[in-house]
């Protein structure tokens, strides 16, 4: 065998090895291969090792099964009250059927973008400016539902749609900022007025509570003064009674001592009258004199009328 024959054999072996290597396909995780045989769909290969026939079979499309994000540029839309604005959207989608994705539409991402723009225009056209600015969640939900139904024949599931930015014209933005500023000032005035009102009410309630406490304190002081005056009078009365009792006791002791000394009845009468005189010098307005004292007083008067002996 000459040199050229040997080289030809080596070349053929290399070609065969390359063909055999190209027939072995390893599909990684979260991917799928759409395989055709002689131009017709054959199968969808999932994760693992697969072998195809050389020349006859070919991989038509490699499909990513992960959830993907499509960020579309701002789209001009017109609201119901004829305000032109620009809105850009973000669409989250996932390929669920590689076969439909490969054969359903020519350019799936462009198709989703155009479908998103038309759906957004239809929804915003039924809303006014204020509704558009305050109905993001509603718009997102309606767009997701519409896009999911429309992309189902393409093997695509739309999982989420978000309005990224809503950009009204500069004049509208300026008017909205002025309106928001006026609203904030109005709320500030209301809060300030409510604060002053509450402060006035609290001050009035404090004065009322203070007046009630002062009246209660004055009442308690008056009660204490009355009780002190009552206690003073009771003690004065008790002192006077005790003084009178002591005087009477002293007179009684004196009379008893005179009687024990053998004094006659006339001396006892005189001592009794002296005791009554002492009693009469007090603050009493009425003096009760026993009947026997009155009789003895008459006897004394009769004795004073007897003429004295020369």
Residue 63: pLDDT over 90: yes
- Rounded mean pLDDT, 283-293: 52
Calpha distance 118→143 (Å, rounded):
10
Residue 25: pLDDT over 80: yes
β partners of residue 69: 92
Calpha distance 116→108 (Å, rounded):
12
Which pLDDT score, from 0 to 100, does residue 215 have?
Answer: 84
Residues 191 and 183: beta-carbon distance below 8 Å: no
Neighbour-count burial of 89, counting CB atoms closer than 10 A to its CB (0-12 exposed, 13-18 middle, 19+ buried): buried
Distant-in-sequence, close-in-space partners of 153: CB < 8 Å, separation ≥ 6: 100, 104
**Distances, alpha carbon 211 to alpha carbons 205, 218, 310, in Å:** 10, 10, 89
pLDDT digits (tens, 9 = 90+) for 160-171: 999 988 888 777
pLDDT digits (tens, 9 = 90+) for 229-285: 888 888 888 877 777 777 777 777 766 776 676 655 655 566 565 655 555 555 555
The token pair that represents 207 in the structure block: 């004065």
Which pLDDT score, from 0 to 100, does residue 90 have?
Answer: 94
- The H or E element spanning position 50 is strand 48-51
Which pLDDT score, from 0 to 100, does residue 119 have?
Answer: 92
Residue 303: pLDDT over 50: no
Calpha distance 256→250 (Å, rounded):
10
Of 30-44, 70-84, 163-177, 250-264, the range with the lowest mean pLDDT is: 250-264
Which pLDDT score, from 0 to 100, does residue 291 have?
Answer: 53
Which pLDDT score, from 0 to 100, does residue 306 have?
Answer: 43
Nearest CA among 151, 172, 166, 165 for reference residue 68? 151
Which pLDDT score, from 0 to 100, does residue 20 have?
Answer: 77
Report the percentage of the chain scoring pLDDT > 90: 25
- Rounded mean pLDDT, 145-150: 93
Which pLDDT score, from 0 to 100, does residue 3 have?
Answer: 66
Residue 211: pLDDT over 50: yes
Which pLDDT score, from 0 to 100, does residue 292 have?
Answer: 53
Q: Which residue has the higher pLDDT, 70 or 247?
A: 70
Which pLDDT score, from 0 to 100, does residue 262 have?
Answer: 60
β partners of residue 26: 49
Residue 121: pLDDT over 50: yes
Residues 182 and 125: beta-carbon distance below 8 Å: no
Residue in the block written with tokens 């928001």:
180
The token pair that represents 218 in the structure block: 């004055």
Calpha distance 57→39 (Å, rounded):
8
Report the percentage of the chain scoring pLDDT > 70: 80
Question: 47: left (phi > 0), else alpha (psi -120 to 50), else beta?
Answer: beta
Residue 66: pLDDT over 90: yes
| Mean of pLDDT over the chain | 80
Which phi and psi angles does 56 have, rounded to 5°? -80, -50
Task: Output the pTM of the full model.
Answer: 0.54
pLDDT digits (tens, 9 = 90+) for 212-234: 888 888 888 888 888 888 888 88
Residues 105 and 150: beta-carbon distance below 8 Å: no
Which pLDDT score, from 0 to 100, does residue 43 have?
Answer: 92
């Amino acid at each position: 065998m000459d040199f050229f024959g040997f080289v030809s054999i080596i070349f053929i072996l290399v070609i065969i090895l390359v063909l055999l290597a190209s027939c072995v396909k390893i599909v990684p995780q979260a991917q799928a291969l759409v395989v055709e045989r002689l131009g017709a769909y054959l199968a969808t290969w999932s994760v693992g090792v697969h072998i195809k026939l050389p020349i006859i079979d070919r991989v038509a499309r490699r499909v990513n099964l992960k959830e993907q994000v499509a960020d579309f540029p701002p789209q001009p839309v017109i609201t119901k009250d004829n305000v032109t604005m620009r809105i850009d959207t973000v669409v989250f989608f996932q390929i669920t059927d590689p076969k439909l994705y490969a054969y359903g539409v020519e350019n799936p991402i462009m198709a989703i973008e155009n479908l998103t723009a038309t759906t957004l225009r239809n929804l915003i056209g039924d809303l006014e400016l204020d509704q558009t600015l305050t109905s993001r969640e509603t718009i997102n939900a309606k767009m997701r539902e519409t896009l999911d139904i429309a992309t189902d024949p393409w093997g695509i599931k739309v999982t989420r749609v978000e309005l990224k930015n809503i950009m009204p014209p500069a004049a509208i933005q300026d008017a909205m900022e002025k309106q928001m500023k006026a609203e904030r000032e109005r709320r500030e005035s209301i809060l300030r007025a409510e604060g002053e009102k509450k402060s006035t009410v609290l001050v009035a309630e404090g004065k009322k509570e203070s007046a009630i406490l002062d009246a209660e304190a004055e009442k308690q002081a008056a009660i204490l003064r009355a009780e002190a005056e009552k206690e003073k009078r009771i003690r004065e009365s008790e002192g006077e009674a005790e003084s009178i009792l002591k005087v009477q006791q002293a007179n009684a002791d004196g009379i008893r001592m005179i009687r024990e000394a053998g004094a006659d009845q006339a001396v006892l009468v005189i001592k009794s009258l002296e005791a009554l005189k002492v009693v009469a010098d007090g603050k009493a307005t009425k003096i009760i004199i026993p009947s026997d004292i009155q009789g003895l007083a008459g006897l004394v008067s009769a004795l004073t009328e007897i003429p004295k002996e020369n």
